[in-house]
Amino acid sequence: MNYISLFSGGGVGCFGFKQEGFDGIATSELLERRLNVQKVNNKLKYDEGYILGDITQNEVKKQLFNAINLFKEKENVDDVDVIMFTPPCQGMSVANHKKNDGTLYKNSLVVEALEIVKKVKPKFFIAENVRAFMNTKCVDHNFEKKIKEAFKDWLSEDYIYEDKIINFKDYGANSSRTRTLVIGVRKDLKNKVYPLDLFPSKEKEKSLREVIKHLPKLDKMGEIYSKDIYHNFKPYREDMRSWIMDIKEGESAFDNKNKLKRPHRIINGEIVFNVNKNGSKYTRQYWDKVAPCIHTRNDILASQNTIHPDDDRVFSIRELMLMMNIPNNFKWVEEDEKYLNNVSFEDKEKFLKNNEINIRQCIGESVPTIIIQKIAKNIKEVLVNGKISQKNTGQQRLI
């Protein structure tokens, strides 16, 4: 069993394939610090498959195809089993706007991925992105179209596929995250397994209390739990603590009756109050609700839904990992966690200063590991056992 992951960040989501015993053929990522996270997790069987760079560049694509061919030759396999691609959310937004003629240019990363799928022809593909993914416009070789039309143009000849908008909290994830999932099956398998068979199974949602309440409280600014370097109180400006110390679950710092405890800046000796453009900023979370969607800027009070239900801090790295179902055997750096937990406090501070932002960004941009693991498990059942259970109908399709 094997897979390829495109736009894979730190490899948090596609780690689910590794958990199910799939061999990684290749993984592409634009930023070296994130690709390095994948390397320390030994995601791939051969080092040539770690592709660093812009996948739109011919030289980078050449490296990808060379890695695929090398894997096939060494492993004596004819087929790629799965390609997973999660283009950055920025690819869903305007890349450039020419004011002179109003022409809109979009990021072409989605089309690049579709072209790769078309060329490689894996047995299955998985795409994940924001809710509006399929109805967002892209530019496909100078033609503007919706992404769902690009899927049809590139893949409908060879694949049947289904797209669904789901909230991952209903499918085993420990936090709310509404996304579009697209799963495709190559047409030579269409009478034997259907895309909807491969979607993750539903589970009862979990509250934040169930997910992180067992972790120790952190009251002191800069505190690092002695037994877990990733359970830490990320420091911020001390004067900002008064903004959040009195707010209760569900309340925002903007709700403080004392105006001086509302978010503000001092400019030329004058108090300038911040504008509350987003109701979820500086907001304390609820213990008995599902954890909020984890965003890339999960390191600051001013971001969306980042404040712990009790403590005056943003969620720790460990709490974020639990909320995104990142398993304990996932590594962020080469050093063993046991070693890191036993270094001096000063060395722990230095480690977090060098690595915390990258870790937090990787978490915020990822797919909860359990979601991809569940899909990988369904694909594995097809590949290994020749069948997949039909949970809703009680039927089975044989392969």
Nearest by Cα to 14 from 256, 328, 333, 368: 368
What's the CATH number where 348 sits?
A: 3.90.120
Are residues 357 and 371 both part of a single domain?
Answer: no
Are residues 223 and 175 both part of a single domain?
Answer: no
Q: On the CB side of 132, how many CA atoms lie within 13 Å of its CA?
A: 8
Please list the residues that pair with 96 across neighbouring strands. Answer: 105
Is the pLDDT confidence value at 395 over 80? no
Confidence bin at 92 (pLDDT 50/70/90): low
Instruction: Answer yes or no: are the C-beta atoms of 267 and 274 closer than 8 Å.
Output: no
Could you tell me what percent of the chain has a pLDDT over 70?
92
Are residues 326 and 296 both part of a single domain?
Answer: yes
Which residues constitute the domain of residue 103? Answer: 2-203+367-398
Are residues 257 and 136 both part of a single domain?
Answer: no
Q: Average pLDDT over the chain, rounded to whole?
A: 90
Confidence bin at 392 (pLDDT 50/70/90): very low
- Number of domains forming the structure of the chain: 2
Are residues 121 and 228 both part of a single domain?
Answer: no
Are residues 344 and 391 both part of a single domain?
Answer: no
Give pLDDT, residue 139: 85
Give pLDDT, residue 95: 37
Are residues 159 and 25 both part of a single domain?
Answer: yes
Give the mean model confidence (pLDDT) for residues 328-344.
95
Confidence bin at 107 (pLDDT 50/70/90): low
Are residues 384 and 355 both part of a single domain?
Answer: no
Give pLDDT, residue 385: 79
Give pLDDT, residue 347: 97
What digits encode the pLDDT tens for the residues 307-325?
999 999 999 999 999 999 9
Is the pLDDT confidence value at 90 over 90? no
Are residues 175 and 56 both part of a single domain?
Answer: yes
Are residues 106 and 38 both part of a single domain?
Answer: yes
Are residues 373 and 358 both part of a single domain?
Answer: no
Higher-confidence position of 389 and 280 = 280
Is the pLDDT confidence value at 105 over 80? no
Is the pLDDT confidence value at 101 over 50? no
What digits encode the pLDDT tens for the residues 220-256?
999 999 999 999 999 999 999 999 999 999 999 999 9
Give pLDDT, residue 326: 97
What digits encode the pLDDT tens for the residues 109-130?
899 999 999 999 999 999 999 9
Could you tell me what percent of the chain has a pLDDT over 90?
79
Give the mean model confidence (pLDDT) for residues 82-105.
55
Is the pLDDT confidence value at 191 over 70? yes
Give pLDDT, residue 96: 38
What's the CATH number where 158 sits?
A: 3.40.50.150
Give pLDDT, residue 399: 36
Are residues 72 and 86 both part of a single domain?
Answer: yes
